[in-house]
Structure 1
Amino acid sequence: MIVAAGRVLTPFEEFTPGYVVVEEGRVAEVGRGIPPRPDQHYPDGVLIPGFVDLQVNGARGVDFLHCDASSLPRAQRYLASTGTTAFLATLVTSPPEQAEAACRVLQRAAPEAGAEVAGLHVEGPVLNPARRGAHDPRWVRAAVDPEVRDLYRGMSGFLRLVTLAPELPGAHDLVRWLLERGVVVSAGHSDATFEQAQDAFQAGVRMVTHLFNAMRPMHHREPGLAGAALQEGAWVCGIVADGVHVHPAFFRLAYRVLGAGRLALVTDAISAAGCGSGRFTLGSQEVEVGRDGAPRLADGTLAGSVLRMDQAVANAVRWGVPLLDAVRMATATPARAAGLLDRGVLRPGSRADLCVLVGHTPALVLAGGRRVWPGP
């Protein structure tokens, strides 16, 4: 298959116009110009890698903690319609047996259903109670609790990312234990001081979960985790670009300091995504989506989002980020952070995960060379 468009963003190079050749589910060629007879041609479109979302709790009425084989494809199809071709299914703090059951269902997800479940992101249960956000306090655990390692051990091979509060007693030992098993560790739901956060990065933490949210606020005398995250280093920061979680001015600040190589767009979408207003669930918590479009607990606490990744990219551009960098923040940067090295980039040999945007809206999405949006 040959797909051609007015612009191709790899996202490290731009071809105007350009094309991609797909063979057996892989990118065979990326080039400049328009071949004589492309199978798909979008003169006004922008051809990019499929989006990679590292934080998705659910979508289209499906909460990943409660999903089954019949409901999961509905969420996968919805995510494909937003341009996402791979995502980490995110499980919030919950009873271990519930998380383990959800893991078994998610491991069996059919890739042809839409966006592919590329692994698990477990958010918790080692969270700072003072910064737990919408997580159910009944299931928050200490880093030294044997139940925590038992939970992670049961997800071995599918667990890619863990969010924890690195300042808690025993957290650094847990970080090292996870790293030995190939799991990426992210700091989040944390009350860490600047010094504690720096120590965490030294210990091997390589990401920050939803920068500026569920962490100690930045202060000129105590910058906290957010301030430490903005220092020079190798870690990547996830950020929710919906205009509710983070003000556009702080988003621009993060982009100017970190650049597209260290800032990853995430949606933190919950089951309400794609459903409009109403009442939904985030794990064991009931949330309501009101007039501002943000899911909240009854006390007003933000509880994930209903953000689409194509909207996140459009917002980043609207707030001053060049499209090439906005695309990189939704593709190559998150893919690299999660170790998904054959995704998020258009080059020979990479997975043929493609998206054509026409006016920031996906017109064609391929996952592994298969058309997943619009549906066949």
Structure 2
Amino acid sequence: MTQTREQTVTQVTAALTGKPTPVAIHRARKVDARGVQDHYWVVSDARGVIIATGTNEETFESACRSVGIDPADESAIIDANGRILTPGYVDIHAHGAWEHSFDDGPKGIDIARAGHAVHGTTRQVLSLITNPVDVMCHNLANVRKAMSARPDILGAHLEGPFLALSRKGAHDPECLKDPVPELVDELLTAADGCIRQITIAPELPHGISAIKQFAAAGVVPAVGHCDADYETAQRGFDAGAGIMTHMFNAMNGLHHRKPGPIPAAVEDPRVIIELINDGFHVQNPMVRLGFGFEPHRIAFVTDAMAATDCPDGAYKLGALDVNVVDGHARLVSNGAIAGSTLLLEVAVQRAVLELGFEAPAAVEAATLTPARALGLDRPNPVTGAPLGLLAPGYAADLLLSDPATWQVNEVWCAGRKVR
């Protein structure tokens, strides 16, 4: 019997708020940023951390025994039978799914997270849309509470309110602000440490000072939704911005006499560059071009809104009405693009099957690179074990996918079986 979405949300939420168990998978085709290996196995322990990997079956059996798994018990071991094994996908910029946004309170968070989790996004930064500052503070408190209860929620991304009016996209212009120090302090206090990144237009009167203020507080500022020229973007990165928010979208484009912020990001090895690989926000020729700029610093993101994994129709983005046609979301008021309906699973599928990217590079863009953007590719206070690779010491975030379609069909987050 097929589960309803309500049942799936209950199951996913229970798994992610439960305890990890040891996992043993063998006979897989491993794909991660370090390359491809056949006949691969991985074993994790009761902490949800990978303890051993390899290709030798005798060593696999020994690793199983070390975590209390009987290698002779077929029910206790997952036979991948040649399926693709990758790290779990990490989305550092997404707003929702399954008719709910991460701004919609605890229930909305549970539902939208389930919509991404079952498709392989094991870790997610919850992006909050521009709203009145008191509403954003309330929404930050909800993210902080959810983050403390489950490992899959990495924290919050504030996409606003410190954006350029001329590059606001689908953000409410009435709520845009200059990031004066008092406002920055208010948001940091409300967040209680849960803000992972914030998008800022560096050309705003207090843009550079706000980048410095957030960076000093441990937040990764991102340059985006901006009208900044090349030099101003450079100043933003020098001030501490470590991310470019969805390259090409809501910013000055490439021009041979007005280079704008994109070359500033590409030239700076400290910067991770987000890219929405849906063929709509960025059409395929520009995806190929953008990925080629600096492939190890390109992080696939979804910018997914509430209509993700849902039928076409009417939806909301904050207080704004959105209409989705052919999977493309636009504001009813002015036709502006209003986020995407992309899943990271689809971004990886597109990269490998449609655009012809090498599989390790495509997987890296959805795993290790976004983890690096937030310092989660090494031991850290947020996740404990690092994310993004299939190697001993890394979190047991594991996906098994069909080798022909790259469709995800089994998911573990920190040793918790999600699907």
Which category describes the TM-score, using the shorter chain as reference length?
over 0.9
1:57 aligns with 2:95: yes
Q: Distance in 2 between matches of 1:371 and 1:111?
A: 19
What is the letter of the counterpart of residue 116 of structure 2?
L
C-alpha displacement of 1:353: 0.8
Q: Distance in 1 between matches of 2:371 and 2:140?
A: 21
After TM superposition, which residue ranges in structure 1, 4 or more long, deviate above 6 angstroms? 110-113
Structure 1's 33 and 8: CA in aligned 2 closer, same or farther, altered over 3 A?
farther
Q: What residue in structure 2 maps to residue 187 of structure 1?
A: 223
Secondary structure of the 1:163 match is strand
Structure 1's 245 and 101: CA in aligned 2 closer, same or farther, altered over 3 A?
same
C-alpha displacement of 1:4: 1.9
Structure 1's 245 and 2: CA in aligned 2 closer, same or farther, altered over 3 A?
same
Structure 1 residues 324-333 or 31-40, which shifts more? 31-40
- Tell me the number of residue pairs that the alignment of Structure 1 and Structure 2 aligns: 369
Q: What residue in structure 1 maps to residue 139 of structure 2?
A: 102
Q: What residue in structure 1 maps to residue 329 of structure 2?
A: 295
TM-score, normalised to structure 1, is 0.94
Between Structure 1 and Structure 2, which shows a larger proportion of strand residues? 1
Q: What residue in structure 2 maps to residue 344 of structure 1?
A: 388
1:160 aligns with 2:183: no
What is the letter of the counterpart of residue 2 of structure 1?
A
Q: Distance in 1 between matches of 2:253 and 2:360?
A: 30
Q: What residue in structure 1 maps to residue 8 of structure 2?
A: none
Task: Work out which of the two has the higher radius of gyration on C-alpha atoms and give 1 or 2.
Answer: 2
Do the aligned partners of 1:207 and 1:237 also contact (CA within 8 Å) in 2? yes
1:171 aligns with 2:211: no
Do the aligned partners of 2:122 and 2:152 also contact (CA within 8 Å) in 1? yes
| Residue-by-residue CA offset, 1:337-371 (whole Å, 9 max, x unaligned) | 01223112222121111111112111110011010
What is the letter of the counterpart of residue 288 of structure 1?
N
Q: Distance in 2 between matches of 1:337 and 1:18?
A: 28
| Residue-by-residue CA offset, 1:157-199 (whole Å, 9 max, x unaligned) | 1111010001111211111111111100100000111121122
Q: What residue in structure 1 maps to residue 418 of structure 2?
A: 372
Between Structure 1 and Structure 2, which shows a larger proportion of helix residues? 2
Secondary structure of the 1:205 match is coil
Q: Distance in 2 between matches of 1:111 and 1:77?
A: 17
Query: Of 89, 95, 98, which residue of structure 1 is paired with 2:126?
Result: 89
Structure 1 residues 73-82 or 223-232, which shifts more? 223-232
1:47 aligns with 2:85: yes
Q: Distance in 2 between matches of 1:287 and 1:305?
A: 11
Q: What residue in structure 1 maps to residue 398 of structure 2?
A: 354
C-alpha displacement of 1:210: 0.4
| Residue-by-residue CA offset, 1:300-320 (whole Å, 9 max, x unaligned) | 110110001110001112212
1:72 aligns with 2:88: no
Q: Distance in 2 between matches of 1:33 and 1:99?
A: 51
What is the letter of the counterpart of residue 82 of structure 1?
H
Q: Distance in 2 between matches of 1:276 and 1:42?
A: 32
Do the aligned partners of 1:215 and 1:225 also contact (CA within 8 Å) in 2? yes
Query: Of 339, 350, 355, which residue of structure 2 is paired with 1:315?
Result: 350
Do the aligned partners of 2:170 and 2:331 also contact (CA within 8 Å) in 1? yes
Structure 1's 14 and 141: CA in aligned 2 closer, same or farther, altered over 3 A?
same
Q: Distance in 1 between matches of 2:287 and 2:241?
A: 22
Q: Distance in 2 between matches of 1:122 and 1:251?
A: 25
Structure 1's 33 and 288: CA in aligned 2 closer, same or farther, altered over 3 A?
farther
| Residue-by-residue CA offset, 1:58-85 (whole Å, 9 max, x unaligned) | 11111111233x3432222211111000
Do the aligned partners of 2:397 and 2:415 also contact (CA within 8 Å) in 1? yes
Structure 1's 112 and 77: CA in aligned 2 closer, same or farther, altered over 3 A?
farther
Q: Distance in 2 between matches of 1:107 and 1:5?
A: 39
Q: What residue in structure 2 maps to residue 117 of structure 1?
A: 153
Q: Distance in 2 between matches of 1:249 and 1:13?
A: 25
Do the aligned partners of 1:189 and 1:215 also contact (CA within 8 Å) in 2? yes
State the identity %: 34
Do the aligned partners of 1:252 and 1:320 also contact (CA within 8 Å) in 2? no
Give the alignment's Cα RMSD to 1 decimal. 1.7
1:151 aligns with 2:187: yes
C-alpha displacement of 1:9: 2.2
C-alpha displacement of 1:202: 1.7
Q: Distance in 2 between matches of 1:140 and 1:233?
A: 30
Do the aligned partners of 2:159 and 2:198 also contact (CA within 8 Å) in 1? yes
Q: What residue in structure 1 maps to residue 14 of structure 2?
A: none
What is the letter of the counterpart of residue 98 of structure 2?
R
C-alpha displacement of 1:112: 8.3
Q: Which runs of 5+ in 2 are unaligned?
A: 1-22, 62-70, 378-385
C-alpha displacement of 1:156: 2.9
Query: Of 279, 297, 320, which residue of structure 2 is paired with 1:262?
Result: 297
Task: Kindly report which structure 2 residues correspond to 1:130-279, keeping only aligned pairs within 5 A, or say none.
Answer: 130-144=166-180, 146-259=182-295, 261-279=296-314
What is the letter of the counterpart of residue 65 of structure 1?
D
